[in-house]
Amino acid sequence: MAKTDSPLPLSIQGVEAVQRIEKTLPLGVVTRIGRMPSSGWAIPWDRSISREHADLTWNGERLLLQLTANAQNPALYRGQPERTLNLAAGDWFQIGQTIFQLGMPGGRPGGEAAGESTTTSIRLGDSRGYSMTDLRKVQFQNAARQLELLSDLPDAIRNSNTDVDLCHMLSQILLKAIPHADAVTVAGYDMAHLSDEYENIKKFPDPLVMQTETRDHFEGRFLPSRRMIWLALREEQSVMHIDTGKQQDDRFTMSEGLGWSFCCPVRGEATRGWCMYVSGQGHTSGSLVISEDDLAPDLRFTEVVAQFMGSIRQVRLLQQQKTQLSTFFSPKVVESLADPRRAAQLLMPAEREISVLFCDVRGFSYRSEQLQGRLPYLLTCVTEALGVMASGILGADGTIADFQGDAALGFWGWPVQLKDGPLPACRAALAIYKRFASGTSEVGGLLEGFSVGIGVAHGRALAGQIGTHSQAKVGVFGPVVNQGARLEGLTKFFEVPICIDETTTAFVREGLPPEEGRLRVLARLRPKGMKIPITVSALLPPQAEMPHVTANLLQRSEVAVQAVIDGRWDAARAILKAFPEDDAPSRKLMEMMAGHGNEPPADWDGAFTMGTK
């Protein structure tokens, strides 16, 4: 429309009829709306609206809406949550349970501008579109009967385990509640495959689900009008059509014997593309006359049922999503994915700074031999071991990428980005080790005989949801994953519980207090299959839990390792010889030097090349 200097009427309607405000937005003036704004328009009945919720500005052509920083709930527009909107006259949006209906410039609030309607009704021949504001003005008929049917909904919902069951149940309710209806269809379509062009109806997609109920006396096949469904879904308004009875309107195909229909979209993120379609006998003229006034109350009841359906599917979708996500994600991460629209974006693969934890259970073969006659108990033991690893990862807000036999791969940094680098992964590693260390000594315990080796690495990686639509999983890819696996293997070589790379070591030095964990530098190595050397450290529990590894030992160990890297092997060996005989890391370092005749090679670059994983 052309730009105008006229003010814009705005109708604000709550759930109850008395909850209504008629206002006019002046040109170029910022108007604050909220439940109790310091200045502006108060909407006191809706708890979903914050005290200071949004600013409205009419520029003569478009209405600009901007939510405040403190607004808790978004504005809903065409079923999508938004924090900013750019709306045309005649449009509408929703916050909480309150509808905001824009009129036409120059009109009265709740009234009409010259030659224009303040509703967003669609008019095509003998059809009409109804906005939610329109329908809230309509009084219910047969209210007692319809309320009785709605009271049966909770039991019916509990017995409908699938979308097909739900559609079947709601179709039956509508047919019982609308006496002059002969056929009811509840259907769902993929909006991505719905044409943007009204005239291109031949490319109308097949429904994802469709359930139809008809009266016993109805003969033939009931075929809902695809054009009506298209209008309802694309415009997100209920659409009604009554045939004149004189000449069939070729815009809408009516099933034989039926003269009127209305189609109601099921609004909501979980029901995009869903609709309820009701049809019956009667025309605007002839022996069986029916009018918009006759059908409007039934359309309003159908809208109420549609709201029930939208809420049911939304709750079920969130429950299903939460159940699926809790297998891989911590409760904190699952909470961040509660919004289905945001979840879809967050689950997309992305390159991030990622911390990985590779954890392997040791002692499985030995326990299998011990319990070969008690396989169910062996399974219980392995399940407990995997559960300890999983709870350690999830308890530190990590994500489980995979279980590989008796090993687990966890990672951090996706879908929620890292704030403390690899420190959460380190805390998870220490928690897992502590649980195994205490459990393996419990005679008769489920973890008896098990130990654990853990590798933690940090770097760039690609993480996200991968796989086909029916076989999707969460995965992480990149050199850092391979490095984590190699570090886990080095725990067996050095006989330490946890090995970490040099990036992780730097974070631990800076951010992990000794009361949580300590460092022991082990060696500079080139793990098998890797060309770039890394300085490997052991992550150890506090001294109170591992008293034989003293602060003095850790300090001397670091000096010895640096001497090895620098090529001063005689000095390194002199320090290492003073270590206890049962100290595995110092012994391994001595063995690696002995493998080179206790002299650094001519091409020594400070790193040993490992021949095994």
Q: Where in the chain is the domain with CATH 2.60.200.20?
A: 8-114
Strand partners, 493: none
Residue 122 has pLDDT above 50, yes or no: no
Question: Higher model confidence: residue 306 or residue 512?
Answer: 512
pLDDT at 109 over 60: no
CATH 1.50.10.150 fits 8-114, yes or no: no
**Cα 135 from Cα 304, distance rounded (Å):** 10
Residue predicted with more confidence, 191 or 121: 191
Q: Which helix (H) or strand (E) holds 472?
A: strand 472-477
Q: How confident is the model at residue 161 (pLDDT cuts 50, 70, 90)?
A: confident
- The single-letter code of the amino acid at 235 is E
pLDDT at 476 over 80: yes
Tell me the average pLDDT across 357-369: 85
Question: How do residues 92-103 score in pLDDT, each as one tens digit?
Answer: 899 988 889 888
pLDDT at 110 over 50: no
Q: pLDDT band at residue 192, thresholds of 50, 70 and 90? A: confident
The CATH number of the structural domain formed by 350-609 is 3.30.70.1230
Greater model confidence, 373 or 437: 437
Q: Does pLDDT of 136 surpass 90?
A: no
The confidence score (pLDDT) of residue 123 equals 41
* Per-residue model confidence (pLDDT) at position 218: 82
115: pLDDT strictly greater than 60: no
Q: What average pLDDT does this structure show over 279-308?
A: 80
Supply the pLDDT for residue 525: 94
- For the chain, the farthest-separated pair of C-alpha atoms sits apart, in whole angstroms, at 112
> With 50 as the cut, is the pLDDT of residue 121 above it?
no
Task: Please say if the pLDDT value at position 321 is more than 80.
Answer: no
pLDDT tens readout for residues 516-539: 999 999 999 998 878 889 999 999
- Cβ proximity of 100 and 94 under 8 Å: yes
Residue range(s) of every CATH 3.30.450.40 domain in the chain? 143-317
Side chain identity at 316, as an amino acid letter?
A: R
| pLDDT band, very low/low/confident/very high, at 413 (cuts 50, 70, 90) | very high
Distance CA 397, CA 391 (A): 10
Tokens of residue 332, six digits: 């904190």
What's the pLDDT score for residue 249?
Answer: 47
Question: What is the arithmetic mean of pLDDT over 36-50?
Answer: 88
For the chain, the average pLDDT equals: 83
Question: Would you say residue 474 has pLDDT above 80?
Answer: no
β pairing state of 238-242 and 127-130: antiparallel
Spell out the CATH class of 143-317: alpha beta
How confident is the model at residue 254, as a pLDDT? 63
Sheet with 260-265: strands ordered across: 123-124, 127-130, 238-242, 260-265, 274-280, 181-188, 209-214
Q: b/e map of 387-400 (b: 16 or more CB within 10 Å)? A: ebbbebbbbbbbbb
Between the ranges 63-77, 209-223, 433-447, where is the mean pLDDT highest? 63-77
Contacts of 219 (CB under 8 A, 6+ apart): 257
Instruction: Report residue 435 as tokens.
Output: 């649980």
- Banded pLDDT at 554 (limits 50, 70, 90): very high
Contacts of 559 (CB under 8 A, 6+ apart): 575
Top-confidence residue, 347 or 572: 572
What are the tens digits of pLDDT across the range 382-392?
888 888 998 89
Buried b or exposed e, range 293-311, using 16+ CB within 10 angstroms: eebbbbbbbbbebbbbbbe
Percent share of the chain, pLDDT over 90: 38
The mean per-residue pLDDT over the stretch 271-275 comes to 89
Helix/strand/coil percent split, the chain, to 5: 35, 25, 40
Asked whether the predicted pLDDT for residue 471 surpasses 60, the reply is no
The confidence score (pLDDT) of residue 523 equals 96
The token duo for 198 is 């009204």
Q: Of residues 290 and 337, which shows the higher confidence score?
A: 290
- What is the arithmetic mean of pLDDT over 532-550? 95
Rounded to an integer, the average pLDDT of 229-238 is 85
Average pLDDT of span 444-459 = 90
In 327-374, where does DSSP find H-type helix?
A: 331-336, 340-346, 364-370
pLDDT value at position 198? Answer: 59
Instruction: List, by residue range, all CATH 3.30.70.1230 domains of the chain.
Output: 350-609
Residue 490: other Cβ atoms inside 10 A: 23
SS3 519: strand
Q: DSSP readout, 304-339?
A: HHHHHHHHHHHHHHHHHHHHHHHTTB-HHHHHHT-S
- Give per-residue pLDDT as tens, 323-346: 555 555 666 666 666 555 566 666
The predicted model gives 144-160 an average pLDDT of: 76
Would you place residue 119 in the very low, low, confident or very high pLDDT band (cuts 50, 70, 90)?
very low
| % of the chain residues with pLDDT over 70 | 84
pLDDT at 587: 96
